[in-house]
Copies of this chain bind each other. A is one copy, B any other.
Amino acid sequence: MKIFLVYAHPEPKSFNGALKNQAVESLTELGHDVKVSDLYEMDWTHYLGKKCYTEIENKDFFKPQQESMGKKFIEPIKKEMEKVAWSDLVILQFPIYWFSMPGIMKNWVDCVFARGFAYGGDVGILENGGFKGKKLLISMTTGGPSMFYSKEGQFGEVQRTLFHIAHGMGFFCGMDSLKPAIWFSPARIGQEAREKMLKEWAERLKGIENEEIVPFHHTKDYDENTYQLKKGLKTNLEILGDF
């Protein structure tokens, strides 16, 4: 498989760094092709705006959705698009920051998942999105322990919280989600438990090609006029939370 690992953590010696290194090592050993974008190392300061393009078509009213169709992206964004296009699986490795991905990674998504490439124009959405045939795997660390991230816990069910990434960014563009890997509280559990987690990660990655995907609804499951789920179907939020 061609695997593109996008990694965002400010400290290379962090557990996020270790998870990234473990993934690169394991996946390479398994015979996969691996590319990595280390967003902190790259000092990714691009955000969706005029500077994403080498030339702006409509100088009077800037509209990224429109400019993106012209495909005049700056080199750093083009390179990332090429890596996404190349890949069969995208792994996002990050620490939870405010119940989402770090801003540096969100900016990466905003810039790279451009209209006409990820969705829109001639490209569809959901199972017809620009990234159809690809898979997405979120690998995220938390500060707090797992009990806080349960459905009835103080922070709410973590998989549901990640709906905006797994469905909103991933499946929106056609990427099938694998079950997000949540690494609870590595900073507080000691070296031995962290090493156990790394082994679990390596173990999971052995079967990565044949994992089940989160069964988000395809277009056929929605009424074609109202775009509402057909009667009796679970919502995507419930599907993700219960997967």
* Cβ–Cβ contact A160 & B237, under 8 A: yes
Chain A interface (Cβ within 8 Å of chain B)? 10-11, 13-14, 40, 44-45, 47-50, 61-65, 97-111, 113, 125-126, 143, 147-148, 150-157, 160-161, 163-165, 167-169, 172, 222, 226-229, 235-237
Chain B residue at minimal CB-CB distance from A104: B47
With A98-B109, A153-B228, A156-B163 already in contact, 17 other A-B pairs whose C-beta atoms are closer than 8 Å? A11-B61, A11-B62, A14-B61, A47-B107, A49-B104, A99-B164, A99-B172, A103-B105, A103-B107, A104-B107, A106-B107, A147-B226, A152-B235, A156-B168, A156-B236, A157-B235, A161-B163
* Cβ–Cβ contact A153 & B103, under 8 A: no
* Cβ–Cβ contact A164 & B167, under 8 A: no
* 4 closest residue pairs by CB, A with B: A99-B168, A103-B107, A103-B106, A99-B164
**Cα–Cα distance between A167 and B63 once the two chains are bound (Å):** 30
**Cα–Cα distance between A227 and B110 once the two chains are bound (Å):** 35
Q: Say how far A233's CB is from chain B's closest CB, in angstroms.
A: 8
Copies in the assembly, this chain: 2
A-B contact pairs, 29 of them (CB 8 A): A10-B49, A10-B62, A13-B61, A40-B49, A45-B47, A47-B107, A48-B97, A48-B103, A49-B104, A98-B164, A99-B163, A99-B167, A99-B169, A99-B172, A100-B100, A100-B168, A102-B106, A103-B108, A103-B110, A125-B154, A148-B227, A151-B235, A152-B229, A152-B235, A153-B227, A156-B236, A157-B235, A161-B163, A161-B164
Chain B residues, Cβ within 8 Å of A99: 163-165, 167-169, 172
Chain B residue at minimal CB-CB distance from A126: B154
Known A47-B102, A48-B103; contact A168-B161, beta-carbon cutoff 8 A: yes
Q: Say how far A220's CB is from chain B's closest CB, in angstroms.
A: 12
* Cβ–Cβ contact A147 & B228, under 8 A: yes
**Cα–Cα distance between A13 and B60 once the two chains are bound (Å):** 9
**Cα–Cα distance between A102 and B110 once the two chains are bound (Å):** 7
Chain B residue at minimal CB-CB distance from A113: B98
Q: Say how far A190's CB is from chain B's closest CB, in angstroms.
A: 16
